[in-house]
Structure 1
């Protein structure tokens, strides 16, 4: 089985043991489910990600893994479910857009999505307060409304939420953090310029969990230090959770997100910059 990115640091034996315990418990329950790419895929409800459970197990002695896996899977499998409303009038107040990592859990037949950036998708969900359900393509089609309209309503419902905005100092930089308890907080990256003063050059952004957006505006010579600071921060915060999303770094400009590729050079993260951003960083360095 292909191992998800969040499990890259796992020892092979430990990973096999963890996945084996998950599979064993699913068999014991007689669940119509399979484990694929770090998630439990079910025939009758949304996929269950295993990142949080795996992270919990790594903090425990191995003899405690089996009961921990069993308890958590029972909670998730026995928890409340709800049907997506069959009419758009009923569905509209519940619709939200949640940012998901493209980790194979949600294929085109299992969700209504739009690309947000490389590795990330805007995903349509129906939220009933205590539980949410991914909207299936056939469910959305039954409403008889254009997809643009459906997403506009869903984005609008998220936009109406008010996350917390604060500045935290890190590495000598003032990082603006947009945070909240809502699982849709990361969706607010779509309207970053409503929370952060963003210059025409844009901002560097990380989305380590579904509960946070961290950004640094590309304005002033100190911006050249931002990539290293943000990459380190993304790795720490995504590992801490809860709700791990991605440890990648993005360039936000005029509402668009571009994933920036990073590779190691001499033990330090090195960015592969697009031409326009490379030119901007050269200008900023010359001002130092």
Structure 2
């Protein structure tokens, strides 16, 4: 499946003899960090720790994913912009004390659950994912802490609703139809950090009946969905189509999660009435094995006239 985030040619530019040249990116990051007064050392989690006026973490995985999108000659500028943005966000913090001004900058962004360090204004969004209040400026997106949140007249669920409202106000995602393994899917995408937030109102993008939809949100810019609808084919074909969709969406999620940028989840979810349930897709030989609850729903779907 192609998408605006995909750049196969740039991926080839970033390889040397078929192996990703991570050393070049590491060296560039060290040079940029030292020019800003920081030293670097790798720490667990594929992260580079920058130590200087502050302690900062740079995800090397995300940096590699970003590098895939541009020619190799542009890597120095990419690394410089990336690191400088992170440093500036910490060293020149915004004054968020005036909520009347800050509220227009607030958004909610979806992150992997492991990003929660205990101080973020965050809440569960789906298994393995959290929803975080962030401040969106023309140059950077930074997370909001619970301390900052409690200093505002609006907090808790009301603050998250405000952030979601601002994401909606930024405009809808682009909607395309595509095929995965011969099954029709709907692709929602855009040049935004907030695509996954739109899962909260997925039903506004595509027809979803009582059986819900299969969805994946592999990275920050893309959602792929397959509605479970009782129409257009014989019962057995409906069942097979849903199983095929589960298999193909799971495979796509894993690929797109690795590609990034902004990896979120390699997992398959079942969207029902705004709630997301993790679907554990297993295999027995070549056969797909789905959870019993989901299989029983597929049986009902196939039995509808």
Q: Aligning the two structures, in what range does the TM-score lie when normalised by the shorter sequence? A: 0.7 to 0.9
Q: Tell me the CA shift for residue 244 of structure 1.
A: 2.2
> Is 1:193 matched up with 2:193?
no
In the alignment, structure 2 segments of 5+ residues that lack a partner are: 1-19, 231-237
Q: Compared with structure 1, are the counterparts of its residues 22 and 112 closer, same or farther at alpha carbon in structure 2 (3 Å cutoff)? A: farther
Matched, 1:282 2:293: no
Change in 2 beyond 3 A, CA 1:18/1:262: farther
The CA deviation string for residues 214-238 of structure 1, in whole angstroms up to 9 with x for no partner, is: 1001124122321011112212322
Matches within 5 A, 1:248-263: 248-263=267-282
SS in 1 for 2:263: coil
CA contact (8 A) 1:262 1:269 kept: no
Matches within 5 A, 1:198-277: 198-220=208-230, 221=238, 222-266=241-285, 268=286, 270-273=288-291, 275-277=292-294
Distance 2:68 2:168 in 1: 36
State the Cα distance separating 1:21 from its structure 2 match.
5.7
Aligned residues between the structures: 267
Deviation per residue, 1:192-243 (Å, 9 max, x gap) = 1010111111100000111111100112412232101111221232233332
Q: Quote the Cα distance in structure 2 between the aligned partners of 1:124 and 1:147.
A: 10
Structure 1 residues 200 and 283 mapped into 2: Cα distance closer, same or farther (>3 Å)? closer
2:155 maps to 1:136: no
Distance 1:147 1:47 in 2: 27
CA distance in 1, matches of 2:228, 2:126: 19
Matched, 1:88 2:99: yes
Unpaired runs of at least 5, structure 1: 1-13
Q: Give secondary structure in 1 for the equivalent of 2:116.
A: coil
Contact 2:29/2:80 (<8 A) preserved: no
CA gap of 1:287–1:148, structure 2 versus 1, over 3 A, is: closer
Distance 2:263 2:188 in 1: 16
CA contact (8 A) 1:47 1:106 kept: no
Q: Secondary structure at the match of 1:157?
A: helix
Report the secondary structure of 2:218's partner residue: coil
Give, in whole Å, the separation in 1 of the partners of 2:167 and 2:33.
38
Greater alpha carbon shift after TM alignment, 112-121 vs 139-148:
139-148
1:1-288 matched pairs, under 5 angstroms: 28=34, 30-31=37-38, 35-40=43-48, 44=54, 47-55=57-65, 72-79=78-85, 80-81=88-89, 82-83=93-94, 85-103=96-114, 105-109=115-119, 111-160=120-169, 161-220=171-230, 221=238, 222-266=241-285, 268=286, 270-273=288-291, 275-284=292-301
RMSD of the alignment, in Å?
3.4
